């Protein structure tokens, strides 16, 4: 345009700005917005709406301030999307400032605006502010609705203020509000997070008695609760309810397959999978994972292999990894290696989990050379090992006392910034204790996060009870005492020194 002597006006630039945002070129759009001269209300509004959708809080604040500075009066819709963005991002101080601007410009606040603010403060645990806003809401002539009460109920439950939560429910009922499925889902979720699994399950079944229809989120939550709480005996009853209320939802069926496949009812996965097909639900890779796991754990390995081969599932890395893991678990390492090798030859998109599963299997049977070869192969393919990969390798190498390789892997972990978890520390500390490197073990213990130290204390107690710690190692025992009598001046930079001490 400009090369032909045409200078686009503000209207044209607004259209272009909208298009650039829609195609996802946010940085270019933002710069285009800044370069636009003679911005009008629509210019600011277009930028604000897109930035709010993208949750670009800094951009929203910048554009909104510019809009006010230039003297443009935002309409109610603009205020609403800005408030929504700020509340969801937890920027509550800014949201109150925007609220003040709304009031000063003479806008009347609606129930939705009040509810949005109350929800924001409930989510960050500022329940006193949320309660104060509720009072102001009522004073302004706006009556709370189910959404408002649900936010308050969730906030009180998360903070374990059960009396206040019950009071909210009583207020809802006294004002004639009935529980909707969203409120019920929040209630189940809160009870679950508080560890009150029995109450959550009982509440779910009470919904059915009150003819409140569960949705996919409800079923998914309850299935997870049954698995965590080991109330597997309720699965058959839940399977019937799924067929009634969620007959065409692949997510619910996938959750059901996953839960059943890990339970003593694993033989039911075939019936559930066939029911999916009968109802016209197209299974995805998650569906097949549930089916294959259930068959393997239900003693039908050969049938699982037939399903895997017949449906050509080796092309999906998730299903492939699951099948390999189950074969290894059942002692069919040769078959697992054969499937894995074929996937490597055909250049399937294997990931670090796939390699780690096979490495664990090889380490378990003592094939350290093959495990190390596979470890090197994954690095050659630019697949970076993670904490679990290193743990598997270190476990095998420490058992066979391959000190040079142990030093190599520990150094690699430190150099690559790989996080050490509880198992990593325990593996190395056990090795150092067995090889009587008490000073190095003490240094490593000092580096260990406190949350991991209890498990390592058990390791030392095990050695002490077995008589494997002699009288000359009082210092290492002191390290594991409650008061940590032994102290060292070492810091996080000592990890490479520990690696060196292994050689």
**Per-residue pLDDT at 70 exceeds 80:** yes
Name the token pair of 484: 């940590």
Which pLDDT band, with edges at 50, 70 and 90, does 76 fall under? very high
* Predicted pLDDT of residue 180: 84
Range scoring the smallest mean pLDDT among 169-178, 413-422, 469-478: 469-478
| Residues 444-457, mean pLDDT to the nearest whole number | 73
Cβ atoms of residues 79 and 102 within 8 Å = yes
* Predicted pLDDT of residue 488: 36
**Per-residue pLDDT at 493 exceeds 50:** no
Quick one: which of 175, 97, 102, 101 has its CA closest to 143? Answer: 175
Which pLDDT band, with edges at 50, 70 and 90, does 496 fall under? very low
**Per-residue pLDDT at 4 exceeds 80:** no
Q: What is the spatial distance between Cα 128 and Cα 113, in angstroms, rounded to a whole number? A: 18
pTM above 0.85, yes or no: no
Cβ atoms of residues 409 and 427 within 8 Å = no
Give me the chain's average pLDDT, please.
84
Q: What is the spatial distance between Cα 140 and Cα 137, in angstroms, rounded to a whole number? A: 5
Q: What superfamily does domain 1-107 belong to in CATH?
A: Tetratricopeptide repeat domain (1.25.40.10)
Quick one: which of 296, 329, 292, 331 has its CA closest to 313? Answer: 292
Which pLDDT band, with edges at 50, 70 and 90, does 247 fall under? low
Which pLDDT band, with edges at 50, 70 and 90, does 292 fall under? very high
Domain residue ranges in the chain: 1-107
**Per-residue pLDDT at 244 exceeds 90:** no
Contacts 24+ apart (CB under 8 A), 168-174: 172/146
* Predicted pLDDT of residue 386: 93
Q: How many CA atoms lie within 13 A of 447 on its CB side?
A: 25
Give the DSSP per-residue string, 195-259. Answer: T-HHHHHHHHHHHHHTTPPP-HHHHHHHHHHHHHHT-GGGHHHHHHHHHHH-TT-HHHHHHHHHH
| Residues 425-434, mean pLDDT to the nearest whole number | 88
Q: What is the pLDDT of residues 394-405, one digit of tens each?
A: 999 999 888 899
* Predicted pLDDT of residue 479: 45
Higher pLDDT among residues 501 and 227, named by residue: 227
Cβ atoms of residues 338 and 347 within 8 Å = no
| Residues 261-266, mean pLDDT to the nearest whole number | 85
* Predicted pLDDT of residue 454: 63
**Per-residue pLDDT at 65 exceeds 80:** yes
**Per-residue pLDDT at 484 exceeds 60:** no
Q: What is the pLDDT of residues 294-326, one digit of tens each?
A: 999 988 999 999 999 888 888 889 999 999 999
**Per-residue pLDDT at 125 exceeds 60:** yes
* Predicted pLDDT of residue 458: 53
**Per-residue pLDDT at 476 exceeds 80:** no
Name the token pair of 195: 């560890």
Q: What is the spatial distance between Cα 408 and Cα 406, in angstroms, rounded to a whole number? A: 5
7: left (phi over 0), alpha (psi -120 to 50) or beta: beta
Contacts 24+ apart (CB under 8 A), 417-422: 418/385, 418/386, 418/387, 418/390, 419/387, 420/387, 421/387, 421/391, 421/452, 422/451, 422/452, 422/455
Q: What are phi and psi of 182, to 5 degrees?
A: -65, -45
Q: What is the pLDDT of residues 372-387, one digit of tens each?
A: 999 999 999 999 999 9
| Residues 480-492, mean pLDDT to the nearest whole number | 38
* Predicted pLDDT of residue 245: 73
| Residues 350-365, mean pLDDT to the nearest whole number | 93
Which pLDDT band, with edges at 50, 70 and 90, does 482 fall under? very low
């Amino acid at each position: 345009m400009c090369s032909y002597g045409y200078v686009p006006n503000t209207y044209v630039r607004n259209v272009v700005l909208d298009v650039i945002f829609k195609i996802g070129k946010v940085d270019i759009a933002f710069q285009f917005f800044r370069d636009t001269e003679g911005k009008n209300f629509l210019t600011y509004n277009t930028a604000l709406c897109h930035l709010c959708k993208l949750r670009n809080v800094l951009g929203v604040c910048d554009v909104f301030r510019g809009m006010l500075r230039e003297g443009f009066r935002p309409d109610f819709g603009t205020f609403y999307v800005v408030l929504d963005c700020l509340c969801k991002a937890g920027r509550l101080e800014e949201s109150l400032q925007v609220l003040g601007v709304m009031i000063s410009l003479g806008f009347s606040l609606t129930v939705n605006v009040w509810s949005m603010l109350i929800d924001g403060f409930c989510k960050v645990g500022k329940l006193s502010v949320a309660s104060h806003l509720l009072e102001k809401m009522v004073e302004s002539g706006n009556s709370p609705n189910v959404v408002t009460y649900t936010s308050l109920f969730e906030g009180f439950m998360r903070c374990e203020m059960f009396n206040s939560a019950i009071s909210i429910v009583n207020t809802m009922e006294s004002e004639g509000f009935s529980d909707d499925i969203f409120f019920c889902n929040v209630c189940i979720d809160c009870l679950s997070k508080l560890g009150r699994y029995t109450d959550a399950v009982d509440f779910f079944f009470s919904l059915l008695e009150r003819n409140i229809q569960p949705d996919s989120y409800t079923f998914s939550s309850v299935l997870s609760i049954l698995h965590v709480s080991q109330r597997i005996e309720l699965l058959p009853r839940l399977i019937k309810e799924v067929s009634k209320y969620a007959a065409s939802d692949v997510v619910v069926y996938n959750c059901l397959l996953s839960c059943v496949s890990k339970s003593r009812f694993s033989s039911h996965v075939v019936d559930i999978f066939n029911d999916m097909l009968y109802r016209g639900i197209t299974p995805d890779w998650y569906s097949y994972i549930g089916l294959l796991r259930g068959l393997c754990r239900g003693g039908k390995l050969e049938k699982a292999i037939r399903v895997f081969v017949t449906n050509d599932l080796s092309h999906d890395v998730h299903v492939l990894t699951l099948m390999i893991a189950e074969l290894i678990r059942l002692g069919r390492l040769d078959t697992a290696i054969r499937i894995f090798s074929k996937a490597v030859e055909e250049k399937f998109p294997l990931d670090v989990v796939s390699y780690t599963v096979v490495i664990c299997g090889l380490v378990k049977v003592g094939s350290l050379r093959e495990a190390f070869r596979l470890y090197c192969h994954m690095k050659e393919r630019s697949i970076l090992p993670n904490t679990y990969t290193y743990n598997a390798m270190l476990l095998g190498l420490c058992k066979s006392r391959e000190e040079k390789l142990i030093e190599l892997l520990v150094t690699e972990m430190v150099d690559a910034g790989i996080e050490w978890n509880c198992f990593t520390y325990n593996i190395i500390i056990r090795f150092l204790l067995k090889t009587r490197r008490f000073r190095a073990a003490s240094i490593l213990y000092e580096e260990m996060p406190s949350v991991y130290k209890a498990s390592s204390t058990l390791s030392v107690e095990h050695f002490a009870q077995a008589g494997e710690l002699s009288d000359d190692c009082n210092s290492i025992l002191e390290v594991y005492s409650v008061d940590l009598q032994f102290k060292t001046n070492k810091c996080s930079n000592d990890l490479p020194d520990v690696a060196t001490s292994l050689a």
